[in-house]
Chain A
Amino acid sequence: MTHAAAHSASHSAHDDTHGHPPTSTGLDNKKIAIWAFIGSECMLFASLISTYLIYKGRSVVGPYPHDACLPPGCSTPLKAILNIPVTSASTFVLLMSSLAMVLALAAVEMKDQPAPTTFGDKLLRSSKLWLWMTAILGATFLGFQAFEFTSFVHEGLTIRTNLFGSSFFTLTGFHGAHVTAGVLWLLTLLAIDYRRGLGPKDAINVDLAALYWHFVDVVWIAIFTLVYLIK
């Protein structure tokens, strides 16, 4: 029996502190709900990604994502509109936000342990630090996306320009909306942390936010490859 299993056996899953009746699965209903929600979100993003892929290469007019047409083949040079270096940086930022999020959850779970003695321990055990870090990295990702959208509009690509514009802005816009919701969720957790402090009893609530945040990250992993890298 693992330590976690032994540990959990000593704690009632549904003690009075939660005030909820027992569940038939023995699992927290909120966690089952977030996984069911994430499952439904998989299908939402699958529909958006497949729409993008179906419309890919079918735009009648430019700008185009990858196909650069340069003289002498074309009278007017058509530069690929996707900015891979910028998007690579934003992808790295989102990946690091997932690391910060998982460290925030670990810090909350360790709150009832003896006070850390070294500076490194204090950093690792600071839930506020990692929640702030996750929110800031998420906001930075949104900043990159705002920059990208603005530059595309300046280069003549809007949601109404062509099929690429319609499917691209819809897909990445939906993802950006999810990141925005995630940042707001993180800020509410931070507000609770400042108000009364997050402890092990709140780990389930931080876990729900973390699962949502990591899902947003894995969706971007798919979008980065399918939209940006595959020509």
Chain B
Amino acid sequence: MAHDPSHEPHHSNVDHQSMGMVKEHPTWSTYWKVALILTLITMVEVWIYYIPSFVASRAFVPALLIMSAVKFFTVVAFYMHLRYDHKLFRVLFTGPLIIAMTTIVALMFLFGKLSSRTGALL
């Protein structure tokens, strides 16, 4: 019977402990599915960019930001294995990320690019 590695976890002589793995990494098929999801989200992002009525609506910017955030965290969780690795790595990444995002939002308010009433990008 043909060996199908796409549905098997990685049974190998890798030093998983020092690499920080606390849970089994995803399988090959998971990686392909994640790629498909990322491609589909990108297609939807570009598609809505070409719908003038949607671009003019208030939902356009939030929709793009949400889709972008989903792609961002999908890559971080599955491809960067943050979902499966030691929590120290999560702290090292999310800590600065929170500071960075807070800085962007604070600067947007400071320079009048965000309205405190609407929360919309001006």
Count of chain B residues with a beta carbon within 8 Å of a chain A beta carbon: 65
Contacts of B32 in A (CB 8 A): 99
| A-B contacts, CB under 8 A, total | 209
Contact B68 A222 (CB under 8 A): yes
Bound Cα distance from A104 to B93, whole angstroms:
23
Inter-chain contacts of B35 with A (CB < 8 A)? 95-96, 98-99
A231:B55 contact, CB within 8 angstroms: yes
Measured between beta carbons, the chain A residues less than 8 angstroms from B61 are 230
Find out whether the CB atom of B31 lies under 8 angstroms from the CB atom of A214: no
Q: How far is the CB of B52 from chain A (nearest CB, A)?
A: 11
Interface positions of A (Cβ within 8 A of B):
2-5, 7-9, 11, 13-15, 18, 25-28, 31-32, 35-36, 38-40, 42-43, 45-47, 49-50, 53-54, 56, 84, 88, 91-92, 95-96, 98-99, 101-103, 106, 109-114, 116-118, 120-121, 124-125, 200-201, 203-204, 207, 210-211, 214-215, 217-218, 221-222, 224-226, 229-231
Q: Which of A49, A53, A111 contacts B12 (CB 8 A)?
A: A111
Give the distance in Å from the alpha carbon of A201 to the alpha carbon of B14 in the complex.
6
Expressed in whole angstroms, the Cα–Cα distance for A214 and B24 within the complex equals 19
Bound CA span A8–B10, Å? 12
A223 to B51, CA, bound (A): 21
Q: Is the CB of B80 within 8 A of A92?
A: no
Contact of B92 among A32, A53, A109 (CB under 8 A): A32
Interface string of B81-112 (1 = CB under 8 A from A): 00000101100110111011101100110010
Q: How far is the CA of A45 from the CA of B92 in the complex (A)?
A: 16
Residues of chain B within 8 A of A222, CB atoms compared? 68, 72
Assuming A54-B108, A92-B39, A200-B13, is B75 touching A221 (CB within 8 A)? yes
Closest 3 CB pairs of A and B: A46-B100, A39-B96, A225-B68
Does A110 lie within 8 Å of B10, measured CB to CB?
A: yes
Q: Which residues of A contact B15 (CB under 8 A)?
A: 8, 11, 13, 15, 18, 28, 200-201, 203-204
Other A-B pairs beyond A43-B103, A124-B6, 11, CB < 8 Å: A27-B18, A27-B88, A35-B88, A42-B97, A46-B101, A47-B103, A102-B78, A118-B2, A201-B15, A203-B12, A224-B42
